[in-house]
Structure 1
Amino acid sequence: MINCYRLFIIFLAFNSEIKYSIGHNVLQNVAYGKSASQSTDPSWGSTPLAGNAVNGVFTDFTHTDLEKNPWIRINLGRNYTVHEVEVFGRKDCCFQRLHDVDIRVGNDLHDMHLCGHFTGSCSRSGERIAVFCPFNTFGRYVQIQIVEGWNNYLSVAEVIVWGRL
């Protein structure tokens, strides 16, 4: 059942009108195609853009440089009620670089609230981390940040933010 769910979500991620229903509320991927930034750009070669994390393509990725507490931040463009945030690790390599992350949501970059925390690291390529936010979590910004270790890279294949107006 979990594998079918993962394939269903991957299929849906290519559609800008991604929706699913919980009760009478229809949620959609409110991060798709939105503006994204990251704490640093890698110092090597070409730059994997932060926007790769919200483009619906699971075969490209974003990548920070080696640093303490790297992050990627998505600007949703307006306030949404956020139900769940899904973060997908890379499939090609380096999936273990996605570990010990806080996911925060907020209206203001200086007032972000914890949606949830994932402890440990991805154990296989393309792994999905799902964090369900507390009831009535809302905001314009969503941030994924590694909070353990001295120096880390943050590399993410895709971020899906399930929300509604």
Structure 2
Amino acid sequence: MTEIFLIFVIFIQVSLHFGSIVQYEYIKQEFAPLYGKLFCQGLSESSLMDCVILSVQSKSVSFFFNKDEHVCRWDCVFLANHACKTYCTEPWSYYAIKWKTNAALSRPTTSSSVYNGDSSLWGAHYATNGAMSPTGIYIFSSNFEMSPWLKVQLIDSNMITFVRVYNRRDEVGERFHDVAVEVSPDGSGNFVQRGFYKGPGLTDQVIEILCDYPTSGKYVRIRIIEGPSNIINIAEVEIYAV
């Protein structure tokens, strides 16, 4: 039977309201992730609920729990070319935020720019085509600019919970930094920030960005918001909704 653990977290949104109650569900997964951890935060002598609370506090999309030794591993850094070994076999269990679909797969994309204007090598469409090039081509890459961005149009309005980004896999992973996840109902420019990743990222890193709370939107924009000259490289982006 599927195990579901609910956690209710208080977020304070000064400009909107106080004490908003937000619900996220961490569900025990039947299958391990297709990638492995580089390192995680750890806590011994912990309960499953301790693990849930620590994960919410760190905005972790997933965590591992050892039910026999009562050990929690959360806030993990994942790499795409690593296999999930130690934490993906009994007595460890893998829990992740509930989701139904990757709403970004094969969806239309636009961007602030394309590197050298060459969409055949670095077009925005490579970010949602379901493939992850191991090289610096056939990925999305912007030009160097102050605030480069990638925008994905979903098929309909979705309740978005988190975004998973597969960073560039061959080099210069540190280019992915100070990234805002912004959501809009219509793509007209009315975007609001719902997630943030400070970074900098690592080469080949799988970066999961949890929204502050589940947010309805049809357009999702991933944008670097700090620094005078930036370039954004994305091998693949997945947008998860419930």
Give the shorter-chain TM-score range: 0.7 to 0.9
Counterpart selection for 2:216 from 111, 120, 138: 138
Counterpart selection for 1:86 from 158, 164, 188: 164
Is the counterpart of residue 7 in structure 1 residue 7 in structure 2?
no
Please give the per-residue CA displacement for 1:69-88, whole angstroms capped at 9, x wherever unaligned.
Answer: 00000001310010111111
Is the counterpart of residue 162 in structure 1 residue 240 in structure 2?
yes
Task: Give 1:56's aligned residue.
Answer: 130
Q: How far apart are 1:92 and its partner, in Å?
A: 1.4
Task: Specify the structure having the higher radius of gyration (Cα).
Answer: 2
Mean alpha-carbon deviation: is it higher for 56-65 or for 141-150?
56-65
**Structure 1 length normalisation: TM-score?**
0.80
| Structure with the larger RCO, 1 or 2 (CA within 8 Å, 6+ apart) | 1
Task: Give 1:122's aligned residue.
Answer: 201
Moved over 3 A (4+): 44-47
Q: Which amino acid aligns with 2:111?
A: Q
Please give the per-residue CA displacement for 1:107-161, whole angstroms capped at 9, x wherever unaligned.
Answer: 03322121211112113x2102211113340100010000111011111111010
Structure 1 stretches lacking a partner, 5+ long: 11-20
Q: Which amino acid aligns with 1:76?
A: L
Q: How far apart are 1:99 and its partner, in Å?
A: 1.0
Secondary structure of the structure 2 residue equivalent to 1:103: strand
Structure 2 stretches lacking a partner, 5+ long: 1-31, 37-79, 81-94
Q: Which amino acid aligns with 2:170?
A: D
Q: Distance in 2 between matches of 1:6 and 1:133?
A: 22
Q: Distance in 2 between matches of 1:56 and 1:113?
A: 26
Secondary structure of the structure 2 residue equivalent to 1:51: helix
Identity of matched residues, % = 26
Please give the per-residue CA displacement for 1:10-66, whole angstroms capped at 9, x wherever unaligned.
Answer: 7xxxxxxxxxx979x651100000001110111276541101011111114100011
Are the structure 2 counterparts of residues 44 and 34 from structure 1 closer, same or farther at C-alpha, using a change threshold of 3 Å? Answer: closer
Is the counterpart of residue 108 in structure 1 residue 108 in structure 2?
no
Is the counterpart of residue 31 in structure 1 residue 104 in structure 2?
yes
Mean alpha-carbon deviation: is it higher for 111-120 or for 145-154?
111-120
Q: How far apart are 1:96 and its partner, in Å?
A: 1.4
Task: Give 2:66's aligned residue.
Answer: none
Q: How far apart are 1:67 and its partner, in Å?
A: 0.7
Are the structure 2 counterparts of residues 26 and 145 from structure 1 closer, same or farther at C-alpha, using a change threshold of 3 Å? Answer: closer
